[in-house]
Amino acid sequence: MRNALAIIVLVSLLFQQCTQPQKSTTADAKEDSAFYSAEDFYTVEKTDAHVHLNTEKPGFATLAKADNFSLVTITYDDVNEPPPMEEQQQWALKQVKAFPDRVAYATTISVRNFNSSNWQQETIAYLKKSFDSGAVAVKIYKVIGMSLKDKAGKLVMVDDPRFDPIFNFIKQNHIPVLGHLGEPKNCWLPADKMTIKGDKNYYTEFPIYHMYLHPEFPSYEQQIAARDHLLEKNPDLQFVGAHLGSLEWSVDELAKRLDKFPNMAVDMAARISHLQFQSVSNRNKVRDFIIKYQDRLLYATDDVVAASANFAEMKAGVHNTWITDWQFFTSKDTMTDADFDGSFIGLQLPKNVVDKIYRLNAEKWYPATSKKR
């Protein structure tokens, strides 16, 4: 009897040991299925919603196809940052024609002749031609608020009434605006106080836009206030704030604007490092922010390719950016970034959130892109 009882106990223990790991494995598999892996990068359809294809060469779009990306190439007009708007438009149209299922483009407005009597009519005519050519958005650039002056020598902000007919025309055509208004907050700091090395490098190259050197120009707060006033004046305007809406330094401040302006979204172009920087001290806050506002965030890089670019170098750089960003959003890996000191942990966002920021939101906020595939 004792031997029989011992056998029963032994069998019971062996059974428990065999079944418990199976439960754990099942749970692990279920958890893994809720998130994407590194291997999924190539199979998931994605959109980089802010690039600059300043060439008619096919290299960038070919790479995008290999990495399962669609692209939105953005045009702008700034005499301080060539190439000219007209050349960018020509390149964009050639890229769209060559890759109709892969590339869309955003047109822009020029303020070079802002003080002429027929500037509004010329601008509207240019926009109409762009819309007829398939533009999915209108880029409004930082020259408004940072260098454009009227006849009296006064700096012109984006909420100036002289822009009202332009925005009304855009709204009538149901086209969204991509607004690069203001700059990162680092722009108003001395170079050695900036949090991101990339910002320091940019403002060293373009000191005209380093507002710390130009205290006579509007403050950071005034730039944001003008943009906010534009949205208050136009509550029905579909507006995507480029570069995290120039509120890259604080997800709390960005959340306030997204709460206040339901027709506002933001792209992440050239500002993902700022999210990573905030993740160093508070990963959960950044992760919770992205999950809460998952319908309002568009993945984007601001990568630029010129006709003179070395294809091998461009391919390696762009691919590495895409892979590293995917790692940040989908994994729990410990990571570092060359833009700042310190390490951070990937956000490992749920699949449905990743799908939104990487593709579905671009199709929602730039509806014409949904017809590309």
Render pLDDT for 243-255 as a digit per residue (tens, 0 to 9): 999 999 999 999 9
Query: Could you tell me if residue 15 is inside a domain?
Result: no
236 near 259, Cβ under 8 Å?
Answer: no
Q: How confident is the model at residue 368 (pLDDT cuts 50, 70, 90)?
A: confident
The CA–CA distances, whole Å, from 336 to 96, 288, 342 equal 36, 21, 7
pLDDT of 30: 59
178 near 137, Cβ under 8 Å?
Answer: yes
> Residue 335 is part of which domain span?
39-368
Q: Which residue has the higher pLDDT, 233 or 17?
A: 233
Query: Could you tell me if residue 295 is inside a domain?
Result: yes
Count CA atoms within 13 Å of residue 308 on its CB side: 1
Q: How confident is the model at residue 307 (pLDDT cuts 50, 70, 90)?
A: confident
Query: Could you tell me if residue 14 is inside a domain?
Result: no
The CA–CA distances, whole Å, from 76 to 46, 80, 91, 143, 312 equal 24, 11, 12, 10, 26
Q: Rounded to the nearest 10 degrees, what angle do helices 119-132 and 164-172 cross at?
A: 20
Query: Could you tell me if residue 4 is inside a domain?
Result: no
**CATH assignment at residue 97:** 3.20.20.140
Sign, CA torsion 48/53/59/62: positive
Helix (H) or strand (E) holding 265: strand 264-267
pLDDT of 23: 45
Give the whole-number percent of the chain exceeding pLDDT 70: 91
User: What distance in Å separates the CA atoms of residue 95 and residue 309, rounded to the nearest whole number?
Assistant: 16
Query: Could you tell me if residue 44 is inside a domain?
Result: yes
3-state secondary structure 212-223: HHCCCCCCHHHH
71 near 267, Cβ under 8 Å?
Answer: no
Q: Is the pLDDT of residue 202 over 50?
A: yes
Sign, CA torsion 314/317/319/325: negative
Q: Is the pLDDT of residue 139 over 90?
A: yes
Query: Could you tell me if residue 158 is inside a domain?
Result: yes
Q: What is the dihedral of CA 198, 200, 201, 204, to 10 degrees?
A: 160
Quote the number of domains for the chain: 1
Query: Could you tell me if residue 310 is inside a domain?
Result: yes
User: What distance in Å separates the CA atoms of residue 51 and residue 63, rounded to the nearest whole number?
Assistant: 13
What is the rounded average pLDDT for all residues in the chain?
93
Q: Is the pLDDT of residue 22 over 90?
A: no
Measured from the Cβ of residue 87, the count of other Cβ atoms closer than 10 Å reads 14
Q: Which residue has the higher pLDDT, 199 or 16?
A: 199
User: What distance in Å separates the CA atoms of residue 36 and residue 133, rounded to the nearest whole number?
Assistant: 37
Angle (nearest 5°) at CA 150 between 146 and 152: 120
Query: Could you tell me if residue 105 is inside a domain?
Result: yes
Q: How confident is the model at residue 226 (pLDDT cuts 50, 70, 90)?
A: very high
Mean pLDDT of 236-240: 99
The CA–CA distances, whole Å, from 265 to 71, 115, 179, 262, 362 equal 18, 31, 10, 8, 10
Q: Rounded to the nearest 10 degrees, what angle do helices 251-260 and 272-292 cross at?
A: 50
Q: Which of 352, 359, 356, 353 is nearest to 373 (CA)?
A: 359
274 near 247, Cβ under 8 Å?
Answer: no
Structure tokens at 331: 């994994």
Q: Is the pLDDT of residue 272 over 60?
A: yes
Mean pLDDT of 153-180: 98
pLDDT of 372: 60
Q: How confident is the model at residue 222 (pLDDT cuts 50, 70, 90)?
A: very high
Angle (nearest 5°) at CA 196 between 70 and 206: 80
Mean pLDDT of 66-72: 98
Q: Is the pLDDT of residue 206 over 50?
A: yes
